[in-house]
């Protein structure tokens, strides 16, 4: 099978990395134009990046060549009266309690509002990250990574081109020929070359190629997530040992939030905001004032949220920002991309066998439904962060609290009793944890108060020293 990937950004090379491990895929052509810059906003990942992707690459080389640093979760700053980290959680503390993570999470509805969330869970983690330390036990304290997007792309490019089944073509795709509504016969490069393949993967990002060439159809999610712009600016370290914290900071601002993601050589930061509530100039002034350096010149990026109505089609699909986009709070982007590739691999398993074509087209519909639900789930989780934030001091925060969303309401109404099959049940823990961390109660069938989790006293070292160990 010959697969053609269009786009040489992070999602394109991630797709290539995972597909080249599939034995029946004999040829992968990846087409990109170096004159089209990568946005490079996403430098923060979730645990799915580790479990579903990093196992396929050399971790030491990844850390060295992608400027990677440790991420234990998202540190929510000024979203409630007490700051907290939404951490990546091991199952071990819950197993020691003799319960599931979900059951324990439901009991958080009875947490005393005077009790800080980290008095009962992730207390040791909360303490050692304050000192910029990391645990040497990745099972007890799992973590993901921050990285430099540009360096990460170059790292994956080098790794993939070492495989003889992968070839890179420098070209810009400008047109396509469809045999039927959802079936591509070939795509056309700016070089006037027609490219054919058994299957096409659109990873071209957030630009007009999606509609012009691939006929993608989108639904706006801007009525639910009000942020639509981001100011982006890399910063130099003043004191790396103090500033290279092992977590992403998400700090509230007047019309959105600011992220801070330290890598080995710099600090990635940006301001996600709504230009319907503040002008770009005003947002820039607020952002630079918060940084403490008004001489900087941040870049402006369009991040209007949207959902691809049909990312999987008969012989092509959309992965990454081409399949939809949600703002980067809690880093859903790469997680959704990896999930999309996992669905694609299963689809191609069916497609390669002529006896499985009925299963292929059935799973095609299932895949589109699953991607829609995943986007709606992440949209709901992000919306919930806004709705449960304690800020009411600007029109932006007031407007977000009044947003009405049917699929969000479905999830919130099911917090009382999680129905089987609605979503992965453990994903509800993300809602339980972050709501309880903001000292908000909700109706629950659980009457017991949450027991403090038992955490092992693991050895820790400074984050910077841990990164240096990858160079030994």
Kindly give the confidence (pLDDT) of every residue in the chain, 472 residues in length, as a single tens digit, with 9 standing for 90 and above: 999 999 999 999 999 999 999 999 999 999 998 876 655 544 789 888 898 888 878 999 999 999 999 999 999 999 999 999 999 989 899 889 888 888 899 899 999 999 999 999 999 999 999 999 999 999 999 999 999 999 999 999 999 999 999 999 999 999 999 998 899 999 999 999 999 999 999 999 989 999 999 999 999 999 999 999 999 999 999 999 999 999 999 999 999 999 999 999 999 999 999 999 999 999 999 999 999 999 999 999 999 999 999 999 999 999 999 999 999 999 999 999 999 999 999 999 999 988 888 999 999 999 999 999 999 999 999 999 999 999 999 999 999 999 999 999 999 998 887 766 545 566 889 999 999 999 999 988 888 999 999 889 999 999 999 999 999 8
Same domain, 341 and 316: yes
138 falls within a domain: no
- Residues 194, 324, single domain; the answer is yes
User: Are residues 157 and 295 located together in one domain of the fold?
Assistant: no
Last residue of a domain, one of 273, 302, 331: 302
In this structure, are 267 and 324 located in the same domain?
A: no
Tell me how crowded residue 121 is: count the other CB atoms within 10 A of its CB: 25
221, 176, 231: which is closest to 200 by C-alpha? 176
Domain with 254 in it: what CATH number? 3.30.70
166 in a structural domain: yes
Question: Do 160 and 207 share a domain, yes or no?
Answer: yes
Tens-place pLDDT, residues 349-367? 999 988 888 999 999 999 9
Name the maximum alpha-carbon separation found in the chain: 68
Regarding whether 373 and 250 lie in a shared domain, the answer is: no
In terms of domains, do 314 and 209 share one?
Answer: yes
Regarding whether 198 and 232 lie in a shared domain, the answer is no
Provide the pLDDT for residue 424.
55
375 — phi, psi (to 5°)? -65, -40
What's the rounded Cα separation, in Å, for the pair 412 and 444? Answer: 11
294 within domain boundaries: yes
- How many residues are given for the chain? 472
Sequence-distant (≥ 6) Cβ neighbours of residue 241 within 8 angstroms: 132, 462, 464
What is the total count of domains within the chain?
2
Question: Do 212 and 152 share a structural domain?
Answer: yes
H or E element, residue 269: strand 267-273
In a domain, 244, yes or no: yes
Strands 2-6 and 199-202: parallel
Rg over CA atoms, the chain: 22
Same domain, 203 and 346: yes
Query: What is the pTM for the complete model shown?
Result: 0.95
Residue where one domain finishes, among candidates 377, 395, 423: 377
Range of the domain at 337: 2-43+148-219+306-377
Among 318, 349, 377, residue at a domain's last position: 377
Question: Is 118 within a domain?
Answer: no
């Amino acid at each position: 099978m010959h697969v053609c990937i269009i786009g040489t950004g992070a999602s394109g090379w991630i797709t290539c990395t995972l597909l080249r491990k599939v034995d029946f895929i004999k040829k992968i052509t990846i087409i990109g134009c170096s004159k089209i810059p990568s946005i490079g906003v996403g430098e923060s990942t979730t645990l799915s990046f580790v479990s579903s992707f990093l196992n396929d690459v050399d971790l030491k080389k990844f850390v060295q060549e992608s400027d990677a640093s440790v991420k234990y979760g998202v540190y929510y700053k000024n979203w409630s009266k007490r700051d907290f980290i939404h951490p990546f959680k091991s199952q071990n503390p819950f197993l020691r309690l003799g319960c599931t993570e979900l059951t324990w999470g439901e009991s958080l509805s009875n947490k005393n509002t005077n009790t800080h969330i980290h008095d009962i869970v992730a207390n040791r983690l909360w303490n050692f990250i304050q000192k910029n330390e990391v645990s040497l036990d990745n099972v007890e304290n799992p973590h993901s990574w921050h990285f430099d997007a540009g360096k990460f792309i170059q790292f994956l490019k080098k790794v993939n081109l070492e495989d003889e089944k992968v070839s890179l073509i420098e070209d810009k795709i400008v047109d396509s020929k469809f045999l039927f509504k959802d079936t591509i016969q070939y795509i056309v490069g700016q070089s006037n070359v027609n490219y054919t393949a058994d299957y096409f993967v659109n990873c071209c990002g957030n630009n007009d190629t999606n509609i012009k060439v691939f006929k993608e159809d989108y639904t706006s999610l801007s009525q639910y997530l009000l942020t639509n712009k981001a100011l982006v600016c890399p910063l130099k370290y003043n004191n790396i040992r103090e500033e290279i914290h092992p977590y992403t900071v998400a700090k509230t601002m007047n019309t959105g939030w600011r992220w801070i993601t330290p890598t080995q050589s710099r600090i990635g930061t940006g301001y996600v905001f709504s230009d319907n509530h503040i002008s770009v100039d005003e947002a820039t002034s607020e952002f630079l004032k918060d940084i403490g350096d008004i001489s900087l010149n941040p870049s402006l990026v369009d991040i209007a949220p949207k959902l691809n109505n049909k990312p999987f089609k008969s012989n092509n699909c959309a992965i990454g920002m081409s399949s939809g986009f949600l703002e980067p709070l809690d880093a859903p982007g790469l997680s959704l991309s990896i999930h999309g590739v996992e669905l694609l691999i299963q689809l191609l398993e069916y497609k390669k066998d002529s006896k499985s074509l009925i299963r292929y087209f059935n799973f095609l519909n299932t895949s589109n439904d699953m991607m829609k639900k995943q986007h709606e789930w992440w949209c709901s989780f992000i919306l919930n962060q806004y709705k449960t934030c304690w800020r009411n001091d600007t029109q932006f925060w007031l407007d977000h609290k009044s947003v009405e969303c049917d699929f969000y309401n479905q999830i919130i109404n099911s917090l009382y009793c999680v129905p089987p099959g609605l979503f992965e049940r453990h994903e509800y823990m993300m809602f339980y944890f972050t709501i309880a961390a903001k000292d908000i109660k909700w109706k629950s069938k659980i009457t017991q108060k949450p027991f403090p989790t038992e955490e092992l006293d693991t050895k820790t070292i400074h984050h910077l020293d841990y990164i240096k160990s990858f160079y030994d």
